[in-house]
Structure 1
Amino acid sequence: MTKHAEDNLFNRLSTSSLKRLRQFFQLWSLKTLTNLPDRLTNLWQQLIGSYWFIPTACVLVGILLAPILVTIDEHFDRDMVREITFAFTGDDDAARAIMTTIAGAVLGVAGTTFSITIAVLSMASSQFGPRLLRNFLTDTPNQFVLGAFIGTFSYSLLVLKAIHKYDVGFGVPQLSVTFAIIMAIICALLLVYFVQHMVHAIQASHVIEGASNEAIKNIHYWYSDRCDIEHQRNIEHHDIEQFHHWSATPIYPPYSGYLQQIYFESLITLSQDYGGVVEINSSLGHFVTDKNVIGYFYQRPADHPTNLQKTKTPHLALVPRSPDGLFWQRFAGCIRLEQRLTQSNDIAYSLGQMTEIAVRALSPGINDPKTAVNCVQSLTSCLSIMMRCQPPTPYHFYKPLDETDTPDTISHQPSAILAVVTRIPKISDFIDSSLGEIRRYAAADLMVLKALCQAMIDLNYARVNEAQQQTLIHEIKLIERAGADNLNYHQLADDLTAMCQQAEKFIMSENAQQHYFHYVSDFDAHIRQALQAQSKQVRA
């Protein structure tokens, strides 16, 4: 290795180390402790999401369990052990042979399970897409099975070390060997479970169900079942219409990456310390560079009513000031950027997993439209939940609390102070990025196009306003146009056109949500008329 290469490697390592150290200090700084539960949750999700955490924990359990059981063996009555029917009561040679066999067997099986996992990951990457690999890597049963094998191996080695040949009294830790035998039997059962679990895990329906459940969980995390009355009162705040006219400073991310999370409590505290409003225009999951403008900091004017609190409550006084170096350091701790997309509470990421499965299924190499239809149905279920729930608010307020204020003083002050404004994707954006993306790849597949048209009808049962209705009508027209331009036979195009027109008429009709939609093709209608005419002739 040349000196130049060594210098580059040293620079990369030092830069990465400094970056991680800076993130650590940002995590535990006093200014960002307001979001400590969310940060600890992210840390725990990263640990659980890694493939090494649970197996390493099992190894540590095996390492700790071995000396504990050996110590219990030294103080345990051997006559009582012999009364246990399934306990090991052999000599040191038998114990050594058993522990050696168990250690070698479980290590070999652990290598087999790892090989099976790698083969499944390779197949999943080609069939479902590389973004679905994390779902297999973070599968807790797989990690636990591997951890049980290597944990039993570690335990067996330490117990084998504790078997002494010339110590007649305590040379054979009988309880420890018995426990090893029980663990070996459990590992054999876990191997059968692992094979059965992997057979189900590679099925497309199982993968789609897992992605759908993850999306529904994220939807319930952001969306609420009912409207927040306090929020409706706060959004009438006068700053919402005026803050765009204040002095604005562009906000840049600290480095390039994918925006994974925004810590709102820390950001609200930062905006109040500097007397302004932080607006974040980038949504979760978007890729940004260190030169991108992802938002603005709007500084309140000097004569703003909020600043007049200084004469009434000095410790709640807001003194506007321009962003400085400390502002950017604290802002870097208010957002989480990753170099690659990772699992988070992002709804678009969860919906994108099902979209990717459908797009892969429609590729010429796989050609599985049934899987694409299953993805459309799962996406419809998730989107219908979003349409019925209250979307998250883009406005976040700082609520001052002062025990010394009298009711008269509080009545002259705003109940909340605008602090953070974010961008919330609309339901039309989610429909276009999920079902719309499938439509663009399924333009020549009648089965999937009909499933998309049926999805619009199913979503119509969940709509709550006219804007959602117009979004569904617009998507149906795009489905009809895609089929007319790309289907090979005009009969197929006419069939899709008739279904889309009937669906559009059904959605636009009154009380459509209380009626059942049944598509009747021209051919079926012709056959029905012919049968009715024949029946009349027979009666006559």
Structure 2
Amino acid sequence: MGKIADIQPTRLLALIDTIKTSFWFIPSLLVIGSLCAAALFISLDRFAHLNQLDAFELLYQIKADAARELLTTIASSMMTVVSITFSITIVSLTLASSQFGPRLIRNFMNDTSTQVVLGLFIADFVYCLAIVRAIDAFADSDYVPGLSILWCLLITLFSVFVLIYFIHHVARSIQADNVIDDVYCQLQSSVDSLFPLQAPSNDINNAGVDQLPDYSRKQSISVKHSGYLQAIDFNGLVKRMQQHDCFAQVTAKIGDFVVEQQAVIEIHSDSVPKQALYEEALKCLTIGAKRSPIQDPEFAVHQLVEVALRALSPGVNDPYTAITCVDKLTATLCKLSSQTFPQTGYFDNKGSLRLYYQSITYSGIGNAAFDQIRQYSSTSLAVSIRQLESLMRLCDMAHNDQHLNFIHHQAGQIEQGLAKQSISDSDWQDIKTRLDIIRSKLS
């Protein structure tokens, strides 16, 4: 149990996550960039006297009316392309929502390629309008911004190739295997950030309940509005508890849905804390309308589970997609078996325990990955067998009793569910073979 590590403010992380999953931020930056580029090239055309150089003479032979007509045509074409691009994007989002689940839409909106493509087309349109407006500044002469027009032509030509790439990218991104792999990559990224250390050979040393400090007073703090607990600023809570010489215990877990007036923090102290402490403590909790992957490793797990459940629904009946999800979840659990889970006890810089939070456990993530798929796959023998094979792999990676208990529990639940089904002797023999292997590895 070491000192609490420095982390970024959770509200800033939530804002960054909101920006990353939006269709306005990157396009807005590109539009601003196009206006800056227009101002730069117009200044070069006006003050650099490039038309007097032989190498640039060809650029300035176009007439003002022809240049204006050319730019207007390009702008109209780009607006048409923008409309088509947005239509393709909306169709892909609709298809993804119906096929993979509405919670996976954020993954498509988080796609940087789509955001850049949309922004590039809009930026090209805005750039054309800016240059058309600038041509009026040269109305008193036959001089036109040739360099600005050349840059517009180059960007337009580049946009043609970008459109081809975008169509290919959308066609690829809605394929089931690619969707699953993208979610899996995000899950791995979440695991790497939240569980960065290799686990020691013995059990992780956490501050248990019997180690909590003894204070004479206890006061509960309730949330002011309902929503999902997205993140906790552990560092901020510890600092505030140290300032007021208190101890806090967070009773809700990240990812839980909390309702208005629900107690989520217990403040322990020897004296009556100031009212300001309650407000400061609540500010360390980020509560939103939906779950967030900021500090919630189960978020991506539930996304993969949702894809698997939709694949197992009677209307789809696609066990291969469900098996792929099981494989990805198994790979994650294998990785987690050698990782250090977040500490439950947080200390101040003087070594005093100031915060207790019952963080996520291996069995908690494992049950989230297995339970619903197991319940829905009781009539899909192929998926149930793959889950048993996954437990066989997890047996080889188990390092402590918590891992073994999880595997034993899931194997028993799968066997109990399959026992109620009408299964042929050959298939049941396959199941028994895998169960026997699991039990032999657990013993």
TM-score by length of 1: 0.76
2:324 corresponds to: 374
How many angstroms apart in 1 are the aligned matches of 2:409 and 2:167? 47
For residue 165 of structure 2, the aligned residue among 182, 193, 197 is: 193
Deviations 1:28-84 (A, max 9, x none): xxxxxx966544333222222221111111111122221221111101233466525
Residue pair 2:199, 2:338 contacting (<8 A) in 1 also = no
Residue pair 1:477, 1:500 contacting (<8 A) in 2 also = no
CA positional deviation for 1:159: 0.3
Residue pair 2:311, 2:322 contacting (<8 A) in 1 also = yes
For residue 442 of structure 1, the aligned residue among 377, 388, 402 is: 377
1:107 corresponds to: 79
How many angstroms apart in 2 are the aligned matches of 1:347 and 1:82? 62
User: Aligned pair 1:418/2:353, yes or no?
Assistant: yes
1:5 corresponds to: none
How many angstroms apart in 2 are the aligned matches of 1:417 and 1:253? 27
For residue 288 of structure 1, the aligned residue among 251, 258, 265 is: 258
1:93 corresponds to: 65
User: Aligned pair 1:341/2:291, yes or no?
Assistant: yes
Structure 1 residues 222 and 175, CA gap change in structure 2 (3 angstroms): same
Q: Match of 1:452, SS?
A: helix
User: Aligned pair 1:130/2:102, yes or no?
Assistant: yes
2:397 corresponds to: 462
Residue pair 2:27, 2:118 contacting (<8 A) in 1 also = yes
2:3 corresponds to: none
How many angstroms apart in 1 are the aligned matches of 2:358 and 2:206? 17
Residue pair 1:258, 1:287 contacting (<8 A) in 2 also = yes
Residue pair 2:226, 2:257 contacting (<8 A) in 1 also = yes
Deviations 1:12-40 (A, max 9, x none): xxxxxxxxxxxxxxxxxxxxxx9665443
1:453 corresponds to: 388
Q: Match of 1:294, SS?
A: strand
User: Aligned pair 1:60/2:32, yes or no?
Assistant: yes
CA positional deviation for 1:375: 0.2
User: Aligned pair 1:168/2:135, yes or no?
Assistant: no
For residue 266 of structure 1, the aligned residue among 211, 233, 236 is: 236
How many angstroms apart in 1 are the aligned matches of 2:292 and 2:199? 30
1:393 corresponds to: 343
RMSD: 2.4
Q: Match of 2:359, SS?
A: coil
For residue 43 of structure 1, the aligned residue among 11, 15, 24 is: 15
How many angstroms apart in 2 are the aligned matches of 1:354 and 1:501? 25
Residue pair 1:70, 1:162 contacting (<8 A) in 2 also = yes
2:47 corresponds to: 75
Deviations 1:227-285 (A, max 9, x none): 589x988949xx95243674321221232111001001110011112222111121111
Which residue type is aligned with residue 392 of structure 1? P
How many angstroms apart in 1 are the aligned matches of 2:51 and 2:23? 44
Residue pair 2:247, 2:355 contacting (<8 A) in 1 also = yes
Which residue type is aligned with residue 436 of structure 2? Q
How many angstroms apart in 1 are the aligned matches of 2:281 and 2:58? 62
User: Aligned pair 1:503/2:437, yes or no?
Assistant: yes
Structure 1 residues 44 and 467, CA gap change in structure 2 (3 angstroms): closer
How many angstroms apart in 2 are the aligned matches of 1:217 and 1:287? 24
Q: Match of 2:263, SS?
A: coil
Structure 1 residues 191 and 86, CA gap change in structure 2 (3 angstroms): farther
2:368 corresponds to: 433
Residue pair 2:370, 2:410 contacting (<8 A) in 1 also = no
How many angstroms apart in 2 are the aligned matches of 1:384 and 1:225? 14
Structure 1 residues 224 and 48, CA gap change in structure 2 (3 angstroms): closer
Which residue type is aligned with residue 475 of structure 1? Q
How many angstroms apart in 1 are the aligned matches of 2:119 and 2:268? 52
TM-score by length of 2: 0.92
Bigger radius of gyration: 1
Deviations 1:373-407 (A, max 9, x none): 0000000011111111111111000013xxxxxxx
User: Aligned pair 1:358/2:308, yes or no?
Assistant: yes
Report 1 or 2 for greater relative contact order, CA contacts < 8 Å, sequence distance ≥ 6.
2
How many angstroms apart in 2 are the aligned matches of 1:143 and 1:173? 30
How many angstroms apart in 2 are the aligned matches of 1:432 and 1:131? 20
**Mapping 1:189-228, distance limit 5 Å:** 189-226=161-198
Q: Match of 1:163, SS?
A: helix
Q: Match of 1:337, SS?
A: strand
Structure 2 unmatched runs, 5+: 1-5
Aligned residues: 436
How many angstroms apart in 1 are the aligned matches of 2:51 and 2:135? 19
CA positional deviation for 1:425: 2.1
Residue pair 2:229, 2:287 contacting (<8 A) in 1 also = yes
How many angstroms apart in 1 are the aligned matches of 2:49 and 2:139? 19
Residue pair 2:10, 2:231 contacting (<8 A) in 1 also = no
For residue 257 of structure 1, the aligned residue among 227, 232, 241 is: 227
1:384 corresponds to: 334
Deviations 1:166-223 (A, max 9, x none): 4335x31001000100110111111011011111100111111111111111112221
Q: Relative to structure 2, which stretch is displaced further, 89-98 or 418-427? A: 89-98
Residue pair 1:54, 1:144 contacting (<8 A) in 2 also = yes
Residue pair 1:446, 1:492 contacting (<8 A) in 2 also = no
Q: Match of 1:220, SS?
A: helix
How many angstroms apart in 2 are the aligned matches of 1:36 and 1:427? 25
Structure 1 residues 436 and 399, CA gap change in structure 2 (3 angstroms): same
Which residue type is aligned with residue 168 of structure 1? S
Structure 1 unmatched runs, 5+: 1-33, 302-320, 401-415, 510-540
How many angstroms apart in 2 are the aligned matches of 1:86 and 1:451? 68
How many angstroms apart in 1 are the aligned matches of 2:117 and 2:19? 17
For residue 245 of structure 2, the aligned residue among 268, 275, 285 is: 275
CA positional deviation for 1:470: 2.5
How many angstroms apart in 2 are the aligned matches of 1:232 and 1:457? 24
How many angstroms apart in 2 are the aligned matches of 1:483 and 1:81? 83
Which residue type is aligned with residue 356 of structure 2? V
Structure 1 residues 87 and 441, CA gap change in structure 2 (3 angstroms): farther
1:14 corresponds to: none
Deviations 1:91-120 (A, max 9, x none): 112211221111011110010010001101
Structure 1 residues 480 and 235, CA gap change in structure 2 (3 angstroms): closer
